[in-house]
Each structure stands twice: as C-alpha cells, then as structure tokens.
Amino acid sequence: MDPLERLYVDALLEDPEEPKRSLRPQLLAGARARRRPAAPTADWARPYAGRVAAMDALLAAAVEDDWSRVIVEGWTLQELVAHLAAKDGLLAASVGAPVLGPELTTADSAARTADVQSYERARSPEQTRRDWRAQADALCRHLANLPAAEPAALDGLNAPVSDHILARALETWVHTDDAARVARITLPLPLPEHIHPTADMCARLLPWTMLLSGHDASGRTLGLELTGPGGGAWHLALGAEDGAAAGEPDARITADVVAFCFLLGGRGDAETFEATLAGDVALARDVLATAPALSGP
C-alpha cells in the first residue's frame, strides 16, 4: 500500500471505557469509508498532498458538534477549513489553477480568509470540506505539470512554487494538529521524506525571519542539526543577502525536527523551546526567538 494512503482515521482508537451503546464505532466506520488517498502530483508537492489527505481523514470523522467547536484564532472547525481553502486558493490563482468559493477580489490572505469564511458560514460543513478538498486536489494535479522553480506569489512574497507549496504543507499540518488536539486525537506524523523538505524550507527561511524581526545577521552563520525521522544538518548564512556559508558556524542549534517545524509554524515558545545551543548562544537564541516571524493565523 502507498504510504500516503495510511489509514489516518484508524488512529482514532476507541475509548476502552466507551459506553456500550455509543455510536462512535459506527461514526468511525463511516469516516473510514469516506477517506480518500492523496491526489497525484509532482514529487516536490507530495508533502502538501499528504497533509491534505490527513486533514481530510480527520474531517471525515467529525460530527455535527465538532464543526462548531472553536479550534484556533477564535475559528470553528468549519471556519478553519475555510481559512485553509482561502490561502490555497490564492496560491492556485497565482499559478493558474482552479479557485473555488466566492469571487476572488483580493490577493491578501486575511481579506480572502474573511470572504471565504463568510461564504462558507451559509453552507453546510460537508460542502465546505468538499470544496476545500476539491480545490486542493485540483492544485495538486496542476502542479504535476509545472517545474518546481515556477515563480509564484502569496501575500506579496515571490518565491518558487515548490517553496510556497511546502509552506502550505506546513500550515495544513499545523492546523490538522490544532484540530486533532481539540478532539483529543493523536494522528501519525508525516512520512520522513515529507518532513525533511518541509524542515529544509523552514531552515532556509531563518535569514528572512531574522531580517523581518529587525536582526541584521549579515556575515554570521548557523549550524542547525534537526534530529528524528526527516531531520538533517544545515550550515546556513544568516544574512539574507549572504552567499553560501563557510568555515565554522558562529552558533549551533540542535533540536527535534518536528518541534522546529512547528516553531516556524507559530506553535511553540522560543523561551521554553527544547534545544541544545553552542557557540554564540545569544545569536542562537535570537534565531529561535525570530523563527515564527513569518507564521500567520
């Protein structure tokens, strides 16, 4: 079986103390029947396709009360899915893929989120889920015919589409985790071969998160070691305009790869983040403190 088709909903283990007359087993059986594998796409877009399939499997298990439960940012589950659809749609528009939902009148993700959420509140949660998934699958299929270096823009940031889709993978992963935590569900981690390119994208963002936060780290370098499946090691120039890093790093950070990705995704506190720091510890702390600078709701 393709690893992307792992049965995420099977992680919703039945409570051993569940009442005998509970409908949960039937609900889970229905959810399993409605799950769908990841859409076919380019190799470099598979981390996103996998996170979409995982989120969709979680949504398949949702019942009526789940959809109105607040997950994050004051948003219900339905509004959270609308937010994902809004940002996916902006990237889709940038590369010429289909966009569902209300007429596209803005390129700003916050404004587009508000438009899509308003539109989806008048529809059923299942309609929201269906169109979010249909748009995401269409984007995946469209990307199969594009080069990774194809330019794309989202919220004024111009970058290769491969980096933008990894950012969408990270946000979808983070919000799937947000929803799963509220539901007290533990889902499997992404495949290591999907975690690694996501971590690589996060590592390459560090010079920009430093710059955006007002830290000029020109001429400074970082040795980053991320442990666990999908991890790796990076030698990074921390100046946004610097060339390739050389020589001994000025600072070193060793941390868990999943925790690092979530820190960049706006989940985690740099003050309490578990990491081993060496070399210029003050510089390393600045790197961690500024890491979430590009994360949004």
Same-domain check for residues 147 and 177? yes
Backbone angles phi, psi at 236, to 5 degrees: -115, 135
Residue 274: CB atoms within 10 A of its CB come to 9
Same-domain check for residues 131 and 221? no
Which of 188, 217, 235 terminates a domain? The answer is 188
- Nearest alpha-carbon partner for 145 in 93, 88, 97, 89: 97
- Specify the pLDDT at position 24: 43
- Specify the pLDDT at position 214: 94
For residue range 152-168, what is the model confidence (pLDDT) as tens digits?
Answer: 999 989 999 999 999 99
For residue range 51-65, what is the model confidence (pLDDT) as tens digits?
Answer: 999 999 999 989 899
Instruction: Find the domain containing 107 and state its range.
Output: 23-188
Report the DSSP beta bridge partners of residue 76: 70
Which of 166, 188, 210 terminates a domain? The answer is 188
- Nearest alpha-carbon partner for 206 in 149, 173, 247, 250: 250
Distances (CA, A) of 284 to 6, 25, 67, 264: 37, 48, 41, 15
- Specify the pLDDT at position 22: 38
CATH number at residue 166: 1.20.120
Distances (CA, A) of 179 to 58, 138, 172, 267, 285: 8, 24, 11, 13, 30
CB-based contacts of 163: which residues, under 8 Å, 6+ apart?
201, 204
Same-domain check for residues 144 and 44? yes
Residue 233: inside a domain, yes or no? Answer: yes
Same-domain check for residues 45 and 131? yes
For residue range 3-15, what is the model confidence (pLDDT) as tens digits?
Answer: 333 434 343 333 3
Report the DSSP beta bridge partners of residue 225: 233, 254
- Specify the pLDDT at position 235: 97
Angle, alpha carbons 222-292-201 (nearest 5°):
60
- Specify the pLDDT at position 181: 94
Residue 4: inside a domain, yes or no? Answer: no
CATH number at residue 249: 3.30.1050.10
Consecutive 10-residue averages of pLDDT for the chain (297 residues): 39 37 44 69 96 94 92 97 98 97 96 98 97 97 97 94 98 97 90 97 97 93 98 96 91 98 95 96 97 91
Q: Identify residue 163 by its one-letter amino acid code.
A: D
